[in-house]
Every structure is written in C-alpha cells, then in structure tokens.
Chains A and B, each alone.
Chain A
Amino acid sequence: MSAVALEDMVGRRWRKPAFVKNPVLRWTLILGFIAYLIAAFMTIEVDWGRVYDGLDRGWAFVLAFTSPDFTSRWSDIWSGLLESIVMTVAASVVGILISIPIGLGAARNVAPLPVYVICRGIVAISRALQEIIVAILLVAIFGFGPLAGFLTLSFATIGFLSKLLAEDIEAMDKVQAEAIRASGARWTQWINYGVQPQVMPRLVGLSIYRIDINFRESAILGLVGAGGIGATLNTAFDRYEYDTAAAILLLIIGIVMALEYLSGIIRARVQ
C-alpha cells in the first residue's frame, strides 16, 4: 500500500499543531512582530567602526579575568565590599521586620478592608519604583553615603517580601487557624500559633532569597552615590583598570554563588 493511498484512507496528513490555534491571531502576531523588528533595526544606530575598535578592549577585559588584580586596590575594594555587606545585612533586617506587619495587613483573610487597602498600596508603590530611581531620590534627600542605600534596599525589601508573604497567608490552611481560635486564643495568639507556623518555612526561604537579591542590588547603588562596591567598580571601569574590575566582579559572583548555595541548604532544611 503506497503512502498516497494511506493518506486517502485516513484523511488529511498529520501536521504539528500550531502554538496559537486561531490562524488570524497567529498571522497578525507574526506579521506585527516582523514589522516591529524591521522598524526597530531601522532606527537603532550602531557605530560598527566603534564596535570593531572596541573588540580589542573587550578581549583585554576577557583576558583580565585570567589575571584579576586583587592587591593593588585592595583597600578600596575591601571598604566598598564591607559597605555593601553592611548595607545588605542592615537593610534586610529592617526590611523583613517591617514587611511582616505589612504582609499581615495585605492578607485579606487576616486584615480588615481599610488596613488591607493601605498595605496593598504600600506594596504596589514599593514594587513599581526601581531600586536605582529610589536611590537617586534618597541620595538627593539624605546626601551621599550608605544611609541612602540602606533605606533604598529596605524599601525594596518591603514590597517584595510583603507581597509574597501576604499571598502565602491567603493560601494557608484555614483548619489549623480555626482550631487555635476555637481553643479561645486572642488575636496575637491566633497569629502566633495558627498562622505563623504555616508560613514560617516560606518566610525564611524568601528572606534568604531577598538577602541574596539585596547584595546584588547593593553592588549597583554605588553608581548613583548610595554607597557600596559600585562606586569602586565604576572608578575601575572609568580608569580602564580591567584587572581590578575583573577582581571585583569575581568577588561579587563568588559571594552571590556562596549565598545561593547557603540559601539552598537553609531552604531545604526549613521545608
């Protein structure tokens, strides 16, 4: 039996089903996308001569990773790194402490409506503004230094943690909380024994994750004068000291990897 006869018998030949079922929508999306790409490429200005010139410097930078220079600017690197770590720790502590009440307030099954609206508003504002923009404003208000960075990171932590904590509280098991309430507990006891044990593992996991993010963000706050390793890194780039820049980047990558590894262990233990 030939292939043609088989196709006649079973009908149309099988084809891979398309990802977007509706053909009109599919073709509109594809054509729109192609049109956009053409428009984007037409308007983007690339100075290819400059790019070509830069390739040598790019290669020099890649080579710098094989011989990073930790020693000649060590005191600058160390003070910047210490400031970053200090900002991360302090901002994480304050951010977590503030985000717990706000997280409780932003959970509809715990808080009354007015509190809920206010707390959700705080979360929305904090999440909509990027760290770096908040840092610019806070530097303008509070002056240069790690205080502005500390406040920025705390503010960003509140939005992140409160939102996820509130979602976790809203998804909790009602039965356990009900049981505590039925035993005649006050509101604080209800939160402490009915809600907290359920969300604690996730809260710990998220907090550790946020410390990780805070450290990464603290590395760029120095670009706008809010303290930390970013200022040192910026100077190293400006002076084309690629070996020092490579050393700083390697330190950041190393610390982030260590934090990620640590957070993996801690999260595995608490869950």
Chain B
Amino acid sequence: MPVLKRDDTQIWRRRTTRESLTHWFGWLLGVAVFAYCWQIISASTTWFFVWDAPRIANDIWTRATPPRWEYITQLGRPIWDTLNIATLGTIIALFLAVPVAFLAARNTTPSPLFIRPIALLIIVSTRSINSLIWALLLIAIIGPGVFAGVIAIAIRSIGFCAKLLYEAIEEIDHSQVEAITATGGSRWQVMAYGIVPQILPAFAGIAVFRWDINIRESTVLGLVGAGGIGLQLSASLNVLAWPQVSLILIVILVAVVISEWVSAKVRGAII
C-alpha cells in the first residue's frame, strides 16, 4: 500500500510517486495531442461563419417550420424502397454470413491455418467500411438505384453478422455435439442437430438487430444515389426546400423509432 511519511505519521495515498508521475505525464501528453488537433481544426475553420451560426440556425429553423405535411403523399414509395433495401440486404447478408461464420469459428473451421484467416479477413474488411462507401463504390460499378443500395447493405452486414455468429458458435455446449456424434451422426447431421439448434436463438437475435441498424443506414443511402428516402432528402436539400427536409427528417426519426421498437420486442421474445 503506498503511504506517504510526514512527521512520522503515515498518510494513505492511492498511488506511489512513480505511478502518479507516469499518470501526470500521460495526461500531459494527452492534453498536448488534443491541443495540436484543435489547432488543426481551428486553422481550417472559417470562424466568421461559426460566430454567425446562431443566426443561421435560427434562420433555418424558421424556414423549416412548419413541415410541409402534404409532401408525405410522395414519400410512400421511397419509404417502401428503404424498407426493401434494409430487409433484402439483411437477408442476403445472412445467407453469406452463415458459411463465413462456420469457416471462422475455431471449433467448426475445416482448416485453422488457411481458411480461418481468410474468413476473418472477409469479416474485418466488410465491417470496417461504411455502407455509404460501399454504396458509392457500387453506384460507380452497377449504376444508381435501389439494387446498389441492397448490395451495399448486404456487403456491409456480412462482417457484422458473421462476427457475432462465429462468437456464438465458439461458445456452444460441446457435450450436445458429442452426444449427436456418439449416435453415429454424419458431419452434416452433427451440424444440423448438434450445433444449429444451439445457435438458432443467437442467429435470430443477430438478424433482427442488424435489420434495425440497416433501417437506419438505408435511410441515408440515397444521399449518394442508392435509392430510398435519402434520395428525396438530398433532392430537397439541393433546392433548399427546408419544409420538405424537416418532414423527411421526422419520417426518418419515426422509422428508426419503430424499427428499434420492433427489434427490441422480437429480441425480448427470443431471449
């Protein structure tokens, strides 16, 4: 226990002198890095606009209220497209994520030396790139539209679903697998009766969870031209139709809240 001796009385302290010195040095370094970063940000900021910001914000607010409610009649199709992008994207992603997860899990991979690293690479690379960037890329390749959005969401979700799924596979109870093997089940039968029933609740949970995230992401995919309600948002922003923008933002918020509620209900029912 670190104690400080002063006038023959021992005073309790939390850290030894060396520890506090390292702590202080760490804090100093952190503050220095932050100050440097702040300087770079501040150097590339037009401060006049920032001081003017409250007036601009107020101006936008007065333009955006009240929302143009009658515009909602034109939003039906975009909302349906958004829902399709999220749902179909999730379904495709799940189909692709299941084999990747089985190849990546330590206890089911056919070859831990060659195939597992490839599966892990697929997981990391699809996960680390945002769906908007995938959409940007796919629009350059297969042209703008809902289809590019579906594929972008699907690619982005593979890594996420496969990662959670392979962690679930690695945590299964091995005695059940062994019981099926002991009855003389083939490799596929062990898979179907020993492993799959154990990960099915996790799988359903992951699917709904990812669907919820995908609804959020698909609402903004249209900003780069990949279909859905984001297209209307970007069109309205381009012509500075703020009452339409505010209505679209309200619609997006409602969609996000509903999907979160559905996802929470379904996961609550499963677990």
Q: Tell me if B24 is interfacial: C-beta within 8 Å of chain A.
A: no
Cβ–Cβ contact A143 & B143, under 8 A? no
**Segment 118-145 of A: residues with Cβ below 8 Å from B:** 128-130, 132-133, 136-137, 140-143, 145
- Chain B 222-235 near chain A by CB (<8 Å), digits 1 or 0: 01100000000000
- Chain B 129-164 near chain A by CB (<8 Å), digits 1 or 0: 110110011001111011100100000000000000
Nearest to B57 among chain A residues (CB) is A141
- Chain B 20-50 near chain A by CB (<8 Å), digits 1 or 0: 0000000000100110011011101110011
Which residues of chain A have C-beta atoms less than 8 A from B124's C-beta?
253, 256-257, 260
Q: Tell me if B125 is interfacial: C-beta within 8 Å of chain A.
A: yes
Nearest to B80 among chain A residues (CB) is A43
Q: Which of B34, B44, B57, B141 interacts with A89 by CB under 8 Å?
A: B34
Q: Tell me if A233 is interfacial: C-beta within 8 Å of chain B.
A: yes
Query: Shortest CB–CB separation between residue B8 and chain A, in angstroms?
Result: 24
Question: How many residues of chain B get a CB closer than 8 Å to chain A's CBs?
Answer: 55
Cβ–Cβ contact A237 & B140, under 8 A? yes
Give Cα A231–Cα B190 distance, bound, in whole angstroms. Answer: 50
Q: Which of A40, A83, A87 interacts with B87 by CB under 8 Å?
A: A40
Q: Which of A82, A130, A260 interacts with B219 by CB under 8 Å?
A: A130
Q: Tell me if A78 is interfacial: C-beta within 8 Å of chain B.
A: no
Which residues of chain B have C-beta atoms less than 8 A from A145's C-beta?
41, 44-46
Cβ–Cβ contact B252 & A141, under 8 A? no
Query: Shortest CB–CB separation between residue B200 and chain A, in angstroms?
Result: 6
Cβ–Cβ contact A19 & B200, under 8 A? yes
Query: Shortest CB–CB separation between residue B213 and chain A, in angstroms?
Result: 10
Q: Tell me if A147 is interfacial: C-beta within 8 Å of chain B.
A: yes
Q: Tell me if A61 is interfacial: C-beta within 8 Å of chain B.
A: yes
- Of the listed residues B56, B133, B147, the one surrounded by the most CB atoms of chain A closer than 10 A to its CB is B133
Query: Shortest CB–CB separation between residue B148 and chain A, in angstroms?
Result: 9
Give Cα A178–Cα B46 distance, bound, in whole angstroms. Answer: 51
Which of A105-113, A159-167, A216-224 participates in binding chain B? Answer: A216-224
Which residues of chain B have C-beta atoms less than 8 A from A103's C-beta?
none
Known: A43-B80, A47-B143, A132-B220. A142 touches B40 (CB 8 A): no
Query: Shortest CB–CB separation between residue A22 and chain B, in angstroms?
Result: 11
Cβ–Cβ contact A142 & B128, under 8 A? no
Question: How many residues of chain A get a CB closer than 8 Å to chain B's CBs?
Answer: 58
Nearest to A47 among chain B residues (CB) is B143
Q: Tell me if A195 is interfacial: C-beta within 8 Å of chain B.
A: no
Q: Tell me if B115 is interfacial: C-beta within 8 Å of chain A.
A: no
Query: Shortest CB–CB separation between residue B6 and chain A, in angstroms?
Result: 21
Which residues of chain B have C-beta atoms less than 8 A from A47's C-beta?
143, 145, 147
Q: Tell me if B108 is interfacial: C-beta within 8 Å of chain A.
A: no
Cβ–Cβ contact A253 & B128, under 8 A? yes
Query: Shortest CB–CB separation between residue A103 and chain B, in angstroms?
Result: 20
Q: Tell me if A12 is interfacial: C-beta within 8 Å of chain B.
A: no
Query: Shortest CB–CB separation between residue B231 and chain A, in angstroms?
Result: 13
Q: Tell me if A93 is interfacial: C-beta within 8 Å of chain B.
A: yes
Give Cα A57–Cα B257 distance, bound, in whole angstroms. Answer: 38
Cβ–Cβ contact A86 & B133, under 8 A? no
Known: A83-B44, A147-B50. A217 touches B34 (CB 8 A): no
**Segment 196-236 of A: residues with Cβ below 8 Å from B:** 216-217, 219-220, 223-224, 227, 230, 233-234
Query: Shortest CB–CB separation between residue A38 and chain B, in angstroms?
Result: 12
Q: Which of A43, A61, A90 interacts with B37 by CB under 8 Å?
A: A90
Q: Which of A44, A51, A227 interacts with B142 by CB under 8 Å?
A: A51
CB-defined A-B contacts under 8 Å, sample of 17: A47-B143, A47-B145, A57-B141, A61-B140, A86-B40, A86-B41, A89-B37, A90-B37, A90-B41, A130-B252, A132-B220, A142-B53, A145-B45, A146-B40, A224-B223, A237-B137, A256-B128
Q: Name B residues whose Cβ lies closer than 8 Å to a Cβ of A.
A: 30, 33-34, 37-38, 40-42, 44-46, 49-50, 53, 56-57, 60, 80-81, 84, 87-88, 124-125, 128-130, 132-133, 136-137, 140-143, 145-147, 150, 193, 197, 200, 204, 216-217, 219-220, 223-224, 237, 249, 252-253, 256-257
Pairs of residues from A and B, 10 with the lowest C-beta to C-beta distance, nearest first: A143-B49, A256-B128, A54-B142, A90-B37, A50-B143, A58-B141, A147-B45, A86-B37, A54-B141, A46-B147
